[in-house]
């Protein structure tokens, strides 16, 4: 890919519109006739910058949106990009990152598959002075990650826990109810935060006897979350696990009142298992949580097969990362809003956290449609 700076003046205007808050940085990167670029101090800030973008998989709707939106923002702002998806295979992601380094990337944006597997390749990146931004998922056990941009992962879990708490009236003392909890992929650092956020709300009700788990798969503490993790966040694995629990512990008519699902891919499989076991939307259908706002899940919410999702507007995350890249390129201080929470085992990585939003059947139009994330037609509305 050519690394020539090809940004036209119109592109600057478009980028400033697209990337909220970038006006100041963009203004510094004034285009000269003939495509040359210079910053206000006369250096070639931003020119010939190559950004490598490593995404985990195309199999989940959100990562496709993340990747294509970030790529579009950066290209419009004049950066060269190399966007790769790794089919959820760690080795594939490492060789893609190696290729980006070989190609001369200046900045790497990485949504890791296994947050503990990238230390050696990031050490190679650091030797080449490449700035590394962890995207959505923290990269652990390495000093060579510079920034982290994500949604507030703990808050995602809290929102799921609070939704179940309210739907069942737990704070008013209602119960006992049956809940089946699930957790995300054991190699995903986020999954720990999602579970902790939810379990900090729900565990007191387990301990008070208001929530029971007939399958026994109820972690006694947040630290045991991996025992109920679904590797690779697979829908089919979640479906199989839910089917097994239903067949083994609910076939006698025991009521299932709630399922804590950490995200939409799991919720999709869980809803299918429920359907397979004869559950139909309406009274007696369990409360089912999710996360991401994937289209299939929003359709399930409309159909009454899922109760809520925690929507993470991937456009805002991509915009934040594009802002970070502009700040890095301009030699400015990179804005972060959390310098305490995300300790990767070697250092606390300066982080920008974006708040997520609860979406239920009642506010789909006001959130997902009003913001243009989906059109009304996408959702059959």
Q: Which residues bind ligand BGC (CB under 6 A)?
A: 60, 62, 136-137, 188, 190, 233, 263, 265, 291-292, 312
User: Which residue, 58 or 347, has its beta carbon nearer to ligand BGC?
Assistant: 58
d(C-alpha 3, C-alpha 322), whole Å: 18
Nearest in space to 361 (alpha carbons), one of 299, 313, 312, 295: 299
Which one, 135 or 279, has the nearer CB to ligand BGC?
Answer: 135
- Closest to ligand BGC by CB, 106 vs 264, is 264
> Least distance from C-beta 381 to ligand BGC, angstroms?
24
- Nearest in space to 309 (alpha carbons), one of 163, 193, 112: 163
Closest to ligand BGC by CB, 39 or 235: 235
CB of 289 to ligand BGC, least distance (A): 12
Looking up tokens 């993470």 gives 312
The helix (run of H) or strand (run of E) holding residue 17 is: helix 9-18
* Cross-strand pairs, 110: 54, 134
Comparing CB distances to ligand BGC, the nearer of 38 and 59 is 59
- Kindly state the smallest distance separating residue 113's Cβ from ligand BGC, in Å: 9
326-331 contacts, C-beta under 8 A, 24 or more apart: 326/19, 326/22, 326/25, 326/26, 326/46, 326/77, 327/25, 328/107, 328/131, 329/25, 329/29, 329/45, 329/46, 329/49, 329/107, 330/25, 330/28, 330/29, 330/39, 330/45, 330/46, 331/45
Q: Specify the residue for token string 């939307």.
A: 281
- Residue whose CB is less far from ligand BGC, 46 or 67: 67
Q: How far is the CB of 187 from ligand BGC (least distance, A)?
A: 10
Q: Are 86 and 60 in contact (CB under 8 A)?
A: no
CB of 136 to ligand BGC, least distance (A): 5
Q: Which one, of 296, 220, 221, lies nearest residue 263 by Cα?
A: 296
- Tell me how far, at minimum, the Cβ of 24 lies from ligand BGC, in Å: 30
> Three-state SS string across 126-164, please?
HHCCCEEEEECCCCCCCCCCCEEEEECHHHHHHHHHHHH
Q: Minimum distance between the CB of residue 75 and ligand BGC, rounded to whole angstroms?
A: 24
Spatial CA neighbour of 328 closest among 117, 46, 88: 46
Identity of the residue, 60 or 256, whose beta carbon is nearer to ligand BGC in the bound complex: 60
Rounded distance between C-alpha atoms, residue 303 and residue 306, angstroms = 8
The residue (of 68 and 124) whose beta carbon lies closer to ligand BGC is 68
What is the nearest approach in angstroms of ligand BGC to the Cβ of residue 137?
Answer: 5
State phi, psi for 44 to the nearest 5 degrees.
Answer: -95, 55
């Amino acid at each position: 890919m050519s690394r020539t700076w090809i940004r036209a003046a119109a592109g600057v205007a478009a980028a400033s519109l697209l990337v909220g808050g970038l006006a100041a940085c963009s203004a510094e990167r004034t285009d000269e006739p003939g495509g040359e670029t210079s910053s206000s101090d006369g250096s070639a800030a931003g020119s010939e910058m190559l950004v490598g973008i490593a995404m985990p998989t195309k199999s989940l709707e959100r990562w496709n949106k993340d990747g294509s939106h970030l790529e579009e923002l950066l290209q419009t702002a004049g950066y060269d990009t190399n966007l790769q998806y790794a089919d959820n295979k760690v080795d594939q992601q490492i060789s893609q990152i190696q290729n980006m380094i070989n190609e001369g990337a200046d900045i790497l944006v990485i949504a890791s598959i296994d947050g503990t597997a990238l230390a050696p390749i990031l050490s190679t990146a650091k030797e080449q002075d490449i700035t590394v931004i962890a995207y959505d998922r923290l990269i652990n056990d390495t000093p060579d990650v510079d920034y982290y941009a994500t949604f507030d992962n703990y808050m995602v879990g809290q929102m799921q826990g609070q939704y179940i708490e309210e739907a069942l009236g737990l704070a008013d003392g209602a119960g006992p109810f049956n809940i089946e909890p699930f957790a995300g992929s054991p190699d995903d650092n986020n999954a720990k935060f999602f579970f902790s956020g939810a379990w900090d709300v729900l565990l007191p009700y387990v301990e008070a006897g208001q929530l029971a788990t007939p399958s026994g798969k109820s972690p006694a503490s947040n630290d045991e979350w991996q025992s109920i993790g679904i590797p690779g966040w697979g829908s089919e694995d979640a479906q199989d696990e839910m089917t097994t629990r239903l067949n083994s512990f609910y076939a006698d008519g025991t009521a299932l009142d709630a399922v804590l699902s950490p995200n939409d891919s799991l919720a999709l499989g869980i809803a299918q298992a429920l359907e397979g076991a004869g559950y139909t939307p309406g009274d007696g259908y369990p409360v089912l949580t999710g996360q991401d706002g994937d289209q299939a899940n929003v359709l399930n919410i409309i159909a009454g097969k899922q109760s809520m999702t925690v929507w993470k507007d991937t456009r805002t995350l991509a915009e934040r990362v594009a802002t970070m890249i502009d700040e890095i390129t301009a030699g400015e201080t990179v804005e972060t809003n959390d310098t305490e929470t995300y300790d990767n085992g070697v250092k606390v990585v300066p982080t920008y956290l974006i708040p997520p939003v609860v979406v239920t059947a009642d506010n789909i139009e006001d959130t997902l449609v009003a913001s243009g994330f989906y059109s009304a037609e996408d959702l059959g509305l």
